């Protein structure tokens, strides 16, 4: 691993290259916050994919791409006389110190839950921070991630189930309400009740220490692997999915579940 001096040198080299590109590369020179934003979102998802796959080479590459965007936005801010990369780093460092009084101050904590509770309280107190408990939840977050974040935030001020097992009554209640709306044939109400059901399931996952986004992504990847197996097996056996019965497809699906190369259930 590199020394601190080597890390700082590498960071400075990256900033120097960006300075040159901003002047000499026609594409880099014309970029703005608005033009970069879609690419930043894409790079963030690519990093998330690499992290999910556990591919070290891709993680390193995608971290670099995200870091470039952070440096690029800072460069644009510097050109506008608003802020530069040093301001970004200092702001972050000051925030980290302020939000960790149990490390840099005299506050005592006994668990991660206490750390998280203190974190949310400090965010409400800091200058320019969130004015409400849910004020820091970005409106543009994907719904599943947002539901989990909402629940984490209200938990940190004590709005939560006393025992995890209590959530299952709520899940059962929401399932009954979905079934009731199916009988009524009211699509708008059915959509609302499905939302309530999914929110309750996200809550259940959180209460048992499971990140719902990771859990669903894992299932998605498992389904894709098994369906790819189904498609390939049919191709090798001269079968056409469109002409097969569900029972015939299910038989090969069961093969996929036991195939050594498939993820575990």
Q: What is the pLDDT of residues 125-180, one digit of tens each?
A: 665 666 788 888 888 888 999 999 999 989 888 899 999 999 999 999 999 999 99
Nearest partner of 212 among 200, 225, 194, 224, judged by Cα = 200
CA within 13 Å, CB half, 211:
8
* Sign, Cα dihedral of 12, 15, 19, 21: positive
Neighbours of 75 (CB within 10 A): 19
Name the nearest CA neighbour of 20 among 70, 71, 57, 67: 71
**What does the block give as tokens for 89?**
């780093």
Burial of residue 82, with CB atoms counted within 10 A of its CB: 0-12 exposed, 13-18 middle, 19 or more buried: exposed
Q: pTM score, two decimals?
A: 0.64
What does the pLDDT read at residue 230?
Answer: 94
DSSP 126: S
Give the chain's residues under pLDDT 70. 119-120, 123-130, 260-265
Rounded Cα gap, residues 209 and 138, in angstroms? 22
User: Helix, strand, coil proportions of the chain in percent (round to 5)?
Assistant: 75, 0, 25
């Amino acid at each position: 691993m590199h020394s601190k001096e080597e890390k700082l040198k590498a960071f400075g080299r990256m900033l120097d290259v960006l300075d040159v590109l901003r002047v000499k590369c026609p594409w880099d020179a014309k970029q703005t916050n608005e033009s970069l934003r879609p690419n930043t979102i894409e790079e963030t998802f690519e990093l998330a994919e690499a992290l999910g796959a556990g591919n070290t080479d891709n993680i390193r590459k995608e971290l670099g791409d995200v870091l470039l965007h952070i440096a690029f936005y800072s460069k644009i801010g510097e050109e506008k006389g608003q802020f530069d990369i040093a301001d970004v780093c200092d702001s972050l460092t000051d925030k980290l110190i302020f939000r960790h009084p149990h490390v840099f101050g005299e506050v005592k904590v006994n668990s991660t839950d206490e750390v998280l509770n203190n974190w949310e309280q400090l965010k409400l107190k800091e200058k320019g921070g969130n004015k409400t408990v849910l004020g820091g939840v970005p409106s543009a977050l994907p719904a599943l991630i947002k539901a989990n974040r909402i629940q984490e935030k209200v938990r940190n001020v004590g709005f939560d189930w006393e025992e995890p097992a209590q959530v299952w009554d709520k899940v059962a209640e929401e399932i009954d309400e979905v079934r009731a709306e199916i009988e009524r044939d009211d699509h708008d109400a059915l959509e609302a009740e499905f939302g309530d059901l999914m929110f309750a399931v996200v809550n259940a996952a959180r209460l048992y220490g499971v990140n719902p986004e990771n859990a669903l992504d894992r299932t998605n990847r498992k389904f894709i692997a098994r369906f790819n197996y189904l498609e390939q097996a049919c191709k090798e056996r001269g079968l056409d999915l469109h002409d097969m019965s569900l029972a015939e497809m299910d038989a090969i699906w069961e093969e996929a579940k036991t195939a050594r190369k498939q993820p575990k259930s």
